Structure 1
Amino acid sequence: MCGRFVNLLPTEAMARLFEAVPGNDLPDGERYNICPTNMITTAVSEDGQRRLRAMRWGFLPHWYKTPTDGPLIINARAEGIATKPAFREAIRSRRCLVPASGFFEWTKGAEGARLPWYIRPADAGPMVMAGVWQDWEREGARMTTVAIVTCAAGGGLEALHHRMPVILAAEDWPLWLGESGHGAAVLMRPSPEGSLAWHRVDPAVNSNRATGPELIEPMADG
């Protein structure tokens, strides 16, 4: 799964990366501990133009009467996504790219302690995760919400967790965004061997209030 992630890319860098027009309400600055319900930057393709849009991380199905009317949906499992009522329309026509620098995963230590790991591209470049989005509106309140698509872990990451976000290579972005035809389902697969690297980080990141570059620094014994 993906429950926390990092994005150190400035808005200008993301606009260049995706050749996209940035919105006016994007969260900016280095973000070391992005948590569910935070606003995040995404890239979408609309009317022949890529745009950067701010979305709430936590997908709200149209039948939710309030944002807390059901479970917080931060991930969408690739398996069955095309038939699940919450996602079947979004996966067909509302796909997006979620830029990141890396994400966190946890293993269990002695006596059940949560041991955090920081996972990033092995080449230290940007990471682009697959997302699906949904506009939600009730009684005049409106927000655009997003879930990160996940698949079975691969590339050696299975040792840490059985799930991982779907990470898209640059050549796959047009297909995922629907710019180059149909068939995006083939992209929902694990990352190849050697494409990711990871290391232990300080348990301080276990708090959703923690922030700062020390959260992604390797532990001495990690």
Structure 2
Amino acid sequence: MCGRFSLISNPEEVEALFGLIALDPFPPRYNIAPTQPILMVMAGTPREPGSNLPDRQALLVRWGLIPAWVKDTKAFPLLFNARSETAAQKAAFRTAMRHRRTLVPASGFYEWRQGNKKGAQAYWVRPREGGIIAFAGLMESYAEPGGSEMDTGTILTTSASSDIAPIHERMPVVIHREDFARWLDCRTQEPRDVVDLMRPTEPGFFEAVPVSDLVNKVDNAGPELQQRVEPAAVEKADPPPAPAQMSLF
């Protein structure tokens, strides 16, 4: 599961990793939650021979995918995650899995371990070597009955790696840089061709830092959310409330 994540790198670092140009400035985001806008990278128009223009594009989407066939968004569940093992078969994700696979730039994500006597312990899960990572995502454009359009997206998950398993059984799918092109290529690479990319990260890739329960509240959005604490020192660490479907329009 991935219900909160962070992107604290600057636009220039994101541009360099994903092969983008001229991203609009954005501030560090320490506590990104479902229904908020998230940055996604998609394959763009193929390059002309000799062109220096990138063949990838960045866009902001609402985190929580809405399939095109949904009639009542208020009654539809908030699809901020999709199980990678079944996404190609599920009606909600099947079309996006075939035609609109994306990358989601991130600095790491938050997870909660249940069973602590004082409540659920929050962890900031980050790459051990630092830097930006790319979650596997799916995008779907939704046209509401009034005629306006909105881009929406979800993050794919897989079984947890050995680094994450003691905390939670699921984790986001991470696409490594050398696999960006294949993952984004929805013209020649069908879902069955990229199944091997939807796997847990290798042991030692992530480290999990215990943090305070400040992250549980969406309004808390500063760097203090990622400061290490001693788990025993957490007086109260209730898990964040399950995100509810919000009015979209």
Tell me what 2:131 maps to.
125
Where in structure 2 are there 5+ consecutive unaligned residues? 47-54, 233-249
The CA deviation string for residues 35-83 of structure 1, in whole angstroms up to 9 with x for no partner, is 0011011111121210111111000011223432311000010111111
Decide whether the 8 Å contact of 1:100 with 1:128 is kept in 2: yes
Question: Structure 2 counterpart of 1:42, which letter?
Answer: M
Tell me what 1:169 maps to.
176
Largest Rg, 1 or 2: 2
Tell me what 1:30 maps to.
28
Say yes or no: does 1:57 pair with 2:67: no
Tell me what 2:200 maps to.
190
Deviation at 1:129, TM superposition (A): 0.3
The CA deviation string for residues 111-160 of structure 1, in whole angstroms up to 9 with x for no partner, is 56221100010101211100001000012221100100000111321100
TM-score (norm 2): 0.83
- Using the alignment, how far apart are the partners of 2:4 and 2:19 within structure 1? 26
Deviates more, 1:102-111 or 1:87-96: 102-111
Relative to structure 1, the CA distance from residue 56 to residue 136 in structure 2 (aligned partners, 3 Å threshold; closer, same or farther) is same
Tell me what 2:119 maps to.
113
> In the comparison of the two structures, how many residue pairs are matched?
220
Tell me what 1:75 maps to.
81
Decide whether the 8 Å contact of 2:15 with 2:23 is kept in 1: no
- Using the alignment, how far apart are the partners of 1:177 and 1:110 within structure 2? 40
Q: 1:152 is matched with which residue: 159, 171, 177?
A: 159
Decide whether the 8 Å contact of 1:22 with 1:51 is kept in 2: no
- Using the alignment, how far apart are the partners of 1:67 and 1:12 within structure 2? 36
- Using the alignment, how far apart are the partners of 1:172 and 1:81 within structure 2? 19
Tell me what 2:213 maps to.
203
Relative to structure 1, the CA distance from residue 204 to residue 79 in structure 2 (aligned partners, 3 Å threshold; closer, same or farther) is same
Question: Structure 2 counterpart of 1:29, which letter?
Answer: P
Deviation at 1:15, TM superposition (A): 1.6
Relative to structure 1, the CA distance from residue 65 to residue 200 in structure 2 (aligned partners, 3 Å threshold; closer, same or farther) is same
Specify the SS of the correspondent of 1:68.
helix
- Using the alignment, how far apart are the partners of 1:84 and 1:110 within structure 2? 35
TM-score (norm 1): 0.93
Q: CA RMSD in A?
A: 1.8
Q: 2:110 is matched with which residue: 104, 108, 125?
A: 104
Question: Structure 1 counterpart of 2:162, which letter?
Answer: G
Tell me what 1:134 maps to.
140
Deviation at 1:221, TM superposition (A): 4.8
Specify the SS of the correspondent of 2:3.
coil
- Using the alignment, how far apart are the partners of 1:152 and 1:125 within structure 2? 23
Question: Structure 2 counterpart of 1:217, which letter?
Answer: Q
Question: Structure 2 counterpart of 1:199, which letter?
Answer: V
**Alignment identity in percent?**
36
Specify the SS of the correspondent of 1:123.
coil
- Using the alignment, how far apart are the partners of 2:15 and 2:224 within structure 1? 27
Deviation at 1:199, TM superposition (A): 1.0
Decide whether the 8 Å contact of 1:132 with 1:146 is kept in 2: yes
Deviation at 1:13, TM superposition (A): 2.1
Relative to structure 1, the CA distance from residue 122 to residue 23 in structure 2 (aligned partners, 3 Å threshold; closer, same or farther) is closer
Instruction: Choose between structure 1 and 2: higher strand proportion.
Output: 1
